[in-house]
Amino acid sequence: VLVSIAAGSPVFGLLIAVLMSIGPWYLVARAAKVRKEKIEDQLADSMVMFSSAVRAGLSLPQALELLAHDSPKPIRQEFAQMIGEYQLGKPLERTLEEAKVRLESENFVLFAAALLASRESGGRLNETVERIARAILEMQRLERKIQSETAQAKKSAIYMAAVPPFVLVVYAWLDPNNVSLLFVTLPGQLMLATAVVLEIVAYFWALKILNPDI
């Protein structure tokens, strides 16, 4: 409402309201994605540490407690929550199941499945975890290769997104009278708002195409 009054345009007011409502959601989702990527990168090393702890004679809860103290953030926080819930009396099986739902990580699902299978039927847990860790490291290598090969294309998407505002500024300098119609007339405001929406959609669509799932 304030933007509509200040700019004298309900179109711009509605556009700003939509962007302000989407912005916090996007920032939180982006922060969650970055945290999840860090956890995925740290998981293989944590699994190797866990395997070494089991080989040294520690029990499964003791090995998890070691990860809760010695792993880097943010994965240390997840292991700390698991071991904290276990120490408060929650069964380890339930703790692992809830962690799988919370993390939404296919790699952690494999890790948790190996732990649960070991508790139920025994077996060489350290060897199983080491094999899973090697598979995760290979998958991470492929993901980094794809990221390096698409890095230039992602920069191109940023450059293309920056071109329309730059062109608008140039036209505003060359022909300010006609460009001002985009801001002071209702058809111009509608066209400008539509262009902004299409610009944002095109940018995120390009990023979606350049982030394939392995």
For the stretch 56-97, pLDDT in tens is 888 888 888 888 898 888 999 999 999 999 889 888 888 888
Classify 32 as helix, strand or coil: helix
Q: How far apart are CA 179 and CA 54, in angstroms?
A: 70
Among 151, 132, 126, CA closest to 207: 151
Contacts of 100 (CB under 8 A, 6+ apart): 108, 109, 112
**Per-residue confidence at 7, pLDDT binned at 50, 70, 90?**
low
pTM, rounded to two decimals = 0.67
Classify 9 as helix, strand or coil: coil
For the stretch 92-151, pLDDT in tens is 888 888 888 888 888 888 888 888 877 777 667 777 788 888 888 887 787 777 777 777
